[in-house]
Amino acid sequence: MEMKRVVITGIGTINPLGNNVQEYWTNLENGVSGCEFITSFDTSKFKTKFACMVKNFDPNRYFDRKEVKKLDPYSQFALVAADEAMKDSGINLDAIDHDMAGVIWASGIGGLQTLTEELRGYFGGDGTPRFSPFFIPRMIADIAAGHISMKFDFRGPNFSTVSACASSTNSIISALDIIRTGKANIIISGGSEASVNEIGMGGFNALQAISTNNDEYKTASRPFDATRDGFVMGEGAGCLILEEYEHAKARGAKIYCEVAGGGMSADAYHLTAPHPEGLGARKVMENTLRDANMKPEDIDYINVHGTATPLGDIAEAKAIVQVFGDHAYSMNISSTKSMTGHLLGAAGAIEAIASIMAVYKGVIPPTINLKKLDPEIDSRLNLTPNVAQKRTVRAALSNTFGFGGHNASIILKKL
């Protein structure tokens, strides 16, 4: 079978650095931290009192009151990002085959805020099971995909991918493969997460996965730095419009870049820790290059998973050197999680947008808060410390790795 080419024709986001793509990209270029103290609940008894949160978001500006009741924040973020991406794509809904248009959306957790509220109501009451009829439809991890498909009447493939922090990269890979094989012309893909709440923060604190550096919260997300102590929780959504190349060309679409390939692997090692030698990370990058029919020297930029966990950053840096050899020192590498925090299941989508913009604009967003490099990380790597760098980006690779050993990567390249 001759595989069809797939391109990106629209992008949208709402995340800790901006409520649209332009705000997000401007703040990425400028190295802005999205960290703030949490004010939505009492953090006095929590080890971590800060997160990277969406700012100035009022759901009533986007949805009527009845809709808000039906939508967990993770679905609200999904719909806002999808609406921006669809507008950006310029797709005329009256001129497309809706049976060949689908939605593949991701969330690592789903409606955690809804679960929190419903359990609080039940256990804080007299034991009478008074649950909202919207409890289950608000909470389940696939429901955002359903809402998006109903909004745009997309009747093609429609499902959700769940692979922890690799979830939305897996959604993009699924969309890529479905369009490649002629089963759809257009797919809305991406992911959303809303886990900055009592259960989310408490659970990740119990895992000792997130930073507790409350005194220096603005700079607490420190990928590759010797003083890092865990990731910073983030929230929001990222959306990509994937479209078959000839279909996009026929309608005169603006094309950001091509989705050249995607790869997957498993560490098969530990529930939460990466393989210490970066085995899964190495295999997923090799698989992605093979799928794209590209060589290591074709890549100019890697947007790394780079969460600022003690083990994860070392394993990923080792894997990059193993895969790219001497070319590893010619590339730019950066972790945009240093600015956005870690959006869990939505991380891959917003980092794919950062990679798309790097290709499209010729600018590498920095790794901020990098002052003292971990001595176990190869100092010859250009981690784009603290300040954005300009360069032509022929192709960018975006890595995402999730609890359970799930690894997924994509390559985005100039047409």
Catalytic residues: 165, 305, 342
Contact 158, 102 (CB under 8 A): yes
> Given CA atoms 240, 339, 346, 312 in this order, what sign does their dihedral have?
positive
Return the SS3 of 395: strand
Q: What does 275-343 look like in DSSP terms, one character per residue?
A: PTT-HHHHHHHHHHHHHHT--GGG--EEE------HHHHHHHHHHHHHHHGGGGGTSEEE-THHHH-B-
Q: How far is CA 355 from CA 28, 74, 85, 271, 363, in A?
A: 11, 23, 16, 28, 9
Please tell me what DSSP assigns to residue 130: -
Contact 184, 191 (CB under 8 A): no
Q: Which of 330, 321, 319, 299 is nearest to 412 (CA)?
A: 299
Return the SS3 of 382: strand
Tokens linked to 296: 């290591």
Beta partners for residue 190, in sequence order = 105, 239
End-to-end, the C-alpha distance of the chain in Å comes to 22
Tokens linked to 194: 């809303």
Rounded distance, CA 236 to CA 14, Å? 5
Tokens linked to 83: 């609406």
> Given CA atoms 109, 265, 366, 216 in this order, what sign does their dihedral have?
positive
Contact 383, 331 (CB under 8 A): no
Q: Which of 227, 114, 126, 242 is nearest to 184 (CA)?
A: 242
- 206: Cβ contacts below 8 Å, ≥ 6 apart: none
Q: How far is CA 357 from CA 52, 100, 176, 322, in A?
A: 21, 27, 19, 27
